[in-house]
Amino acid sequence: NAGVMQNPRHLVRRRGQEARLRCSPMKGHSHVYWYRQLPEEGLKFMVYLQKENIIDESGMPKERFSAEFPKEGPSILRIQQVVRGDSAAYFCASSPRLLTGFTEAFFGQGTRLTVV
Amino acid sequence: EDKVVQSPLSLVVHEGDTVTLNCSYEVTNFRSLLWYKQEKKAPTFLFMLTSSGIEKKSGRLSSILDKKELFSILNITATQTGDSAIYLCAVGIPDSWGKLQFGAGTQVVVTP
Protein backbone atom coordinates (compact mmCIF):
# COMPACT_ATOMS: atom_id res chain seq x y z
CA ASN A 1 0.00 0.00 0.00
CA ALA A 2 1.79 3.07 -1.22
CA GLY A 3 1.83 6.05 1.06
CA VAL A 4 0.61 9.52 0.28
CA MET A 5 2.26 10.54 -2.98
CA GLN A 6 3.01 14.14 -3.78
CA ASN A 7 4.54 15.53 -6.93
CA PRO A 8 6.58 17.22 -7.92
CA ARG A 9 8.98 17.03 -4.99
CA HIS A 10 10.61 20.30 -5.97
CA LEU A 11 9.09 23.06 -8.05
CA VAL A 12 10.70 26.29 -9.14
CA ARG A 13 8.53 29.04 -10.51
CA ARG A 14 9.19 32.61 -11.54
CA ARG A 15 7.10 35.35 -9.99
CA GLY A 16 3.75 35.59 -11.74
CA GLN A 17 3.66 31.97 -12.93
CA GLU A 18 1.24 29.32 -11.77
CA ALA A 19 2.15 26.43 -9.49
CA ARG A 20 0.24 23.14 -9.45
CA LEU A 21 0.89 20.71 -6.65
CA ARG A 22 -0.54 17.20 -6.73
CA CYS A 23 -1.43 14.80 -3.99
CA SER A 24 -2.59 11.21 -4.33
CA PRO A 25 -3.92 9.97 -1.00
CA MET A 26 -3.31 6.52 0.37
CA LYS A 27 -5.50 3.83 -1.09
CA GLY A 28 -8.88 3.86 0.58
CA HIS A 29 -8.46 7.36 1.97
CA SER A 30 -11.08 9.89 0.93
CA HIS A 31 -10.07 12.79 3.17
CA VAL A 32 -7.24 15.09 2.12
CA TYR A 33 -5.63 17.93 4.06
CA TRP A 34 -3.14 20.48 2.76
CA TYR A 35 -0.63 22.17 5.07
CA ARG A 36 2.03 24.77 4.41
CA GLN A 37 5.32 24.96 6.24
CA LEU A 38 7.23 28.19 6.03
CA PRO A 39 10.94 28.17 6.91
CA GLU A 40 11.43 27.54 10.64
CA GLU A 41 7.71 27.47 11.31
CA GLY A 42 5.28 24.71 12.13
CA LEU A 43 2.78 23.32 9.69
CA LYS A 44 -0.23 25.54 9.12
CA PHE A 45 -3.53 24.10 8.00
CA MET A 46 -4.76 25.33 4.63
CA VAL A 47 -7.68 23.28 3.39
CA TYR A 48 -9.58 20.05 3.96
CA LEU A 49 -11.28 18.26 1.11
CA GLN A 50 -13.31 15.16 0.55
CA LYS A 51 -13.97 13.80 -2.91
CA GLU A 52 -15.48 16.62 -4.99
CA ASN A 53 -16.05 18.80 -1.94
CA ILE A 54 -14.14 21.50 -0.12
CA ILE A 55 -15.09 21.11 3.52
CA ASP A 56 -12.90 23.68 5.25
CA GLU A 57 -10.73 26.24 3.48
CA SER A 58 -10.31 28.54 6.47
CA GLY A 59 -6.51 28.41 6.20
CA MET A 60 -6.32 29.30 2.52
CA PRO A 61 -5.28 32.79 1.47
CA LYS A 62 -8.29 34.54 -0.01
CA GLU A 63 -6.68 35.20 -3.38
CA ARG A 64 -4.61 33.20 -5.83
CA PHE A 65 -4.95 29.89 -3.97
CA SER A 66 -7.43 27.16 -4.83
CA ALA A 67 -7.76 23.44 -4.20
CA GLU A 68 -9.75 20.60 -5.62
CA PHE A 69 -10.16 16.88 -5.11
CA PRO A 70 -11.99 15.49 -8.13
CA LYS A 71 -13.86 12.24 -8.26
CA GLU A 72 -11.02 10.73 -10.27
CA GLY A 73 -7.39 11.67 -9.90
CA PRO A 74 -5.27 13.44 -7.33
CA SER A 75 -6.03 16.45 -5.24
CA ILE A 76 -4.57 19.63 -6.72
CA LEU A 77 -3.41 22.74 -4.89
CA ARG A 78 -3.13 25.58 -7.35
CA ILE A 79 -1.35 28.86 -6.74
CA GLN A 80 -1.78 31.52 -9.39
CA GLN A 81 0.60 34.42 -9.97
CA VAL A 82 3.09 33.17 -7.41
CA VAL A 83 5.07 35.60 -5.29
CA ARG A 84 8.28 35.08 -3.32
CA GLY A 85 6.30 34.75 -0.10
CA ASP A 86 4.68 31.58 -1.47
CA SER A 87 8.02 29.79 -1.24
CA ALA A 88 7.45 27.01 1.29
CA ALA A 89 7.01 23.29 1.68
CA TYR A 90 3.47 22.16 0.98
CA PHE A 91 2.40 18.93 2.61
CA CYS A 92 -0.61 16.81 1.91
CA ALA A 93 -2.06 14.39 4.43
CA SER A 94 -4.79 11.83 4.02
CA SER A 95 -6.97 9.83 6.34
CA PRO A 96 -9.55 7.13 5.81
CA ARG A 97 -12.19 9.01 7.74
CA LEU A 98 -12.87 12.26 9.45
CA LEU A 99 -10.20 13.02 12.04
CA THR A 100 -12.35 12.95 15.12
CA GLY A 101 -9.29 12.65 17.31
CA PHE A 102 -9.14 8.89 17.19
CA THR A 103 -7.27 8.41 13.96
CA GLU A 104 -4.06 9.82 12.61
CA ALA A 105 -3.27 11.51 9.33
CA PHE A 106 -0.49 10.22 7.09
CA PHE A 107 1.65 12.81 5.38
CA GLY A 108 3.23 12.87 1.97
CA GLN A 109 6.84 13.86 1.30
CA GLY A 110 5.84 17.37 0.46
CA THR A 111 6.46 19.69 -2.47
CA ARG A 112 9.08 22.34 -1.94
CA LEU A 113 8.07 25.39 -3.93
CA THR A 114 10.69 28.01 -4.66
CA VAL A 115 9.65 31.25 -6.30
CA VAL A 116 12.47 33.13 -7.99
CA GLU B 1 -7.57 31.08 20.25
CA ASP B 2 -6.20 27.53 20.24
CA LYS B 3 -2.47 27.32 20.87
CA VAL B 4 0.22 24.66 20.83
CA VAL B 5 3.60 25.61 22.24
CA GLN B 6 6.67 23.43 22.08
CA SER B 7 9.86 23.78 24.05
CA PRO B 8 12.72 23.99 23.72
CA LEU B 9 12.90 25.29 20.16
CA SER B 10 16.13 23.41 19.62
CA LEU B 11 18.71 21.40 21.47
CA VAL B 12 21.98 19.62 20.85
CA VAL B 13 22.86 16.44 22.71
CA HIS B 14 25.51 13.75 22.54
CA GLU B 15 24.77 10.21 21.47
CA GLY B 16 23.53 8.21 24.42
CA ASP B 17 21.91 11.15 26.19
CA THR B 18 18.22 11.27 27.09
CA VAL B 19 16.06 13.99 25.60
CA THR B 20 12.76 15.32 26.92
CA LEU B 21 10.59 17.46 24.67
CA ASN B 22 7.62 19.45 25.90
CA CYS B 23 4.33 20.36 24.31
CA SER B 24 1.73 22.49 26.05
CA TYR B 25 -1.63 23.33 24.58
CA GLU B 26 -4.69 25.47 25.04
CA VAL B 27 -7.53 23.89 23.13
CA THR B 28 -11.22 23.93 23.85
CA ASN B 29 -12.71 20.44 24.09
CA PHE B 30 -9.43 18.59 23.68
CA ARG B 31 -9.61 15.28 21.81
CA SER B 32 -6.12 14.09 20.95
CA LEU B 33 -2.48 15.05 20.80
CA LEU B 34 -0.13 13.68 18.18
CA TRP B 35 3.65 13.58 17.88
CA TYR B 36 5.44 13.51 14.54
CA LYS B 37 9.09 13.23 13.53
CA GLN B 38 10.20 15.29 10.55
CA GLU B 39 13.53 14.57 8.89
CA LYS B 40 13.79 17.04 6.03
CA LYS B 41 10.76 15.47 4.41
CA ALA B 42 7.37 14.14 5.43
CA PRO B 43 6.35 14.23 9.05
CA THR B 44 6.09 10.62 10.16
CA PHE B 45 3.60 9.67 12.81
CA LEU B 46 4.96 8.64 16.21
CA PHE B 47 2.18 8.64 18.78
CA MET B 48 -1.39 9.67 19.36
CA LEU B 49 -2.46 10.33 22.93
CA THR B 50 -5.99 10.72 24.15
CA SER B 51 -5.94 9.67 27.79
CA SER B 52 -4.04 11.14 30.71
CA GLY B 53 -1.33 9.19 32.43
CA ILE B 54 -1.06 6.33 29.95
CA GLU B 55 2.44 6.10 28.55
CA LYS B 56 2.89 5.09 24.96
CA LYS B 57 6.18 3.45 24.03
CA SER B 58 7.90 2.58 20.81
CA GLY B 59 11.47 1.41 21.23
CA ARG B 60 13.50 4.19 22.76
CA LEU B 61 10.67 6.72 22.38
CA SER B 62 7.89 7.23 24.84
CA SER B 63 5.23 9.83 25.42
CA ILE B 64 2.70 10.72 28.04
CA LEU B 65 -0.17 13.16 28.31
CA ASP B 66 -1.36 15.23 31.25
CA LYS B 67 -4.83 16.53 30.47
CA LYS B 68 -5.11 18.34 33.78
CA GLU B 69 -1.97 20.42 33.26
CA LEU B 70 -2.47 20.49 29.47
CA PHE B 71 0.86 19.18 28.32
CA SER B 72 2.62 16.21 26.88
CA ILE B 73 6.24 15.11 26.90
CA LEU B 74 8.17 13.04 24.42
CA ASN B 75 11.20 11.17 25.75
CA ILE B 76 14.00 9.72 23.70
CA THR B 77 16.47 7.55 25.60
CA ALA B 78 19.93 6.45 24.47
CA THR B 79 19.80 8.92 21.60
CA GLN B 80 21.40 8.08 18.25
CA THR B 81 22.42 10.35 15.39
CA GLY B 82 19.41 9.03 13.50
CA ASP B 83 17.18 10.70 16.06
CA SER B 84 18.26 14.10 14.71
CA ALA B 85 15.08 15.66 13.39
CA ILE B 86 12.36 18.19 14.08
CA TYR B 87 9.75 16.80 16.45
CA LEU B 88 6.29 18.20 15.91
CA CYS B 89 3.42 18.20 18.34
CA ALA B 90 -0.13 18.64 17.04
CA VAL B 91 -3.54 18.79 18.62
CA GLY B 92 -6.70 17.69 16.89
CA ILE B 93 -9.14 20.58 16.83
CA PRO B 94 -12.59 19.24 17.62
CA ASP B 95 -15.51 20.20 15.44
CA SER B 96 -13.12 21.44 12.78
CA TRP B 97 -13.34 18.61 10.30
CA GLY B 98 -10.08 17.09 11.39
CA LYS B 99 -7.82 20.11 11.36
CA LEU B 100 -4.55 19.67 13.24
CA GLN B 101 -3.00 22.60 15.10
CA PHE B 102 0.76 22.23 15.10
CA GLY B 103 3.41 23.66 17.34
CA ALA B 104 6.52 25.18 15.81
CA GLY B 105 8.52 22.05 16.54
CA THR B 106 11.67 21.22 18.45
CA GLN B 107 14.84 20.68 16.44
CA VAL B 108 16.96 17.94 17.97
CA VAL B 109 20.57 17.47 16.90
CA VAL B 110 22.39 14.40 18.18
CA THR B 111 26.15 14.59 17.81
CA PRO B 112 28.39 11.52 17.68
Q: Convert the pLDDT of each residue in A8-25 to its tens digit.
A: 999 999 999 999 999 999
- A43-88 pLDDT, tens digit each: 999 999 998 899 889 899 999 999 999 988 999 999 999 999 999 9
- B10-55 pLDDT, tens digit each: 999 999 999 999 999 998 777 789 999 998 778 888 998 988 888 9
- B42-54 pLDDT, tens digit each: 888 899 898 888 8
Average pLDDT of the segment spanning A94-111: 75
Taking CB atoms and an 8 Å cutoff, what residues of chain A touch B100?
33, 35, 43, 45, 99, 105
Give the residue among A35, A70, A73 at the shortest CA–CA distance from A53.
A70
Question: pLDDT value at position A99?
Answer: 57
**pLDDT over 70 percentage in chain B:** 96
- Provide the b/e sequence for B91-109 (b: ≥16 CB within 10 Å): bbbbebbbbbbbbbbbbbe
**pLDDT over 70 percentage in chain A:** 91
B98 and A99 within 8 Å at the Cβ level: the answer is: yes
With an 8 Å Cβ cutoff, is B50 touching chain A? yes
On the question of pLDDT at B86 being above 90, the answer is yes
Handedness of CA B26, B30, B35, B36 (dihedral sign): negative
A102 and B31 within 8 Å at the Cβ level: the answer is: yes
A65-68/B3-7 β-pairing: unpaired
Question: pLDDT value at position B8?
Answer: 96
Residue B89: closest C-alpha in chain A: A42
With an 8 Å Cβ cutoff, is B86 touching chain A? no
A43 and B94 within 8 Å at the Cβ level: the answer is: no
Q: Is the bond preceding A96 in cis, omega lying within 30 degrees of 0?
A: no
On the question of pLDDT at A112 being above 80, the answer is yes
With an 8 Å Cβ cutoff, is B31 touching chain A? yes
